[in-house]
Amino acid sequence: MDEEEKASYRKAGDIAKDVREWSRGLVKPDAKVFDVAGQIESRIKESGGEMAFPVNICINDITAHYTPRAGDETKIRERDVVTIDLGVHINGCIADTAYTMDLSGDYGGMLRANEEALSSVIESIKPGISTGDLGEVVQSTLEDAGYKPIENLTGHEVKQYNLHAGISIPNVPVSYEKEIEEGMVLAIEPFATDGAGRVIESKQAEIFSLEELRPVRMRDARIMLNEIEKTRKALPFAARWFSKKISPLRLNILLRDLTSQKGKKG
């Protein structure tokens, strides 16, 4: 990694940290998740960054990857547990960060255990250590505190314009171990739960990414595809980002055309 790339990662990290702390003031009862996401994304751009992925706002048992749809009326309630996941990129160099706020006051122990697991993994990372060993650190830290890790969510390596690149960083010991190498950029993502320790996927997709350029039937879809390729490359984007230019009905038609050609995936 050259010095210019390192500087881009550092700048992305500084912006992500500042926006993360600033955004805590937005998480309060009666706030619409659509508005919160929009404010965070605007702050990223005002700070000199670009979105590495759409802001995720996950409430209670929704664990990850929920971003508001256009016109989403969902509001944060008084006793919700809210996770904000945001990402910043500078020249494709990505900083990925998240935090959880417990408005109920009932889950402080779980949040502390998760922070401890994160700190323990960061302290353990070095070239040559296996991903399975890191998963063991997460699992043992959380189980010692009385919680379970979510085993089918992982951290991940990031590369330029590639959010999920290369290796995964598991939250449990695994058989598909890889070694950490010098120069890797990693997002560490422990998930603590008092539930079963697994998540199931929703069928509704609001986040998409470009897999490859293929011919599409509709002229508007071609225009949309070219804009995505130019501005996002392989980075994820939200359907709602196009809602000011395209009506919801038309947007759904275009996305169906694009996904049917396997140019995108949710």
Angle, in degrees to the nearest 10, between helices 108-124 and 131-144: 150
With a pLDDT cut of 90, the percent of the chain lying above it is 74
Predicted confidence band of residue 1 (pLDDT cuts 50, 70, 90):
confident
Tally of CB atoms within 10 A around 2: 7
Predicted confidence band of residue 266 (pLDDT cuts 50, 70, 90):
very low
User: Which domains are present in the chain?
Assistant: 1-105 (3.90.230.10), 107-201 (3.90.230.10), 207-265 (1.10.10.10)
φ, ψ at 53 (rounded to 5°): -165, 160
| Better-scored residue on pLDDT, 266 or 237 | 237
Tally of CB atoms within 10 A around 25: 9
DSSP-derived pairing of the beta strands 162-169 and 155-159: antiparallel
The pTM for the full model equals 0.91
Predicted confidence band of residue 235 (pLDDT cuts 50, 70, 90):
very high
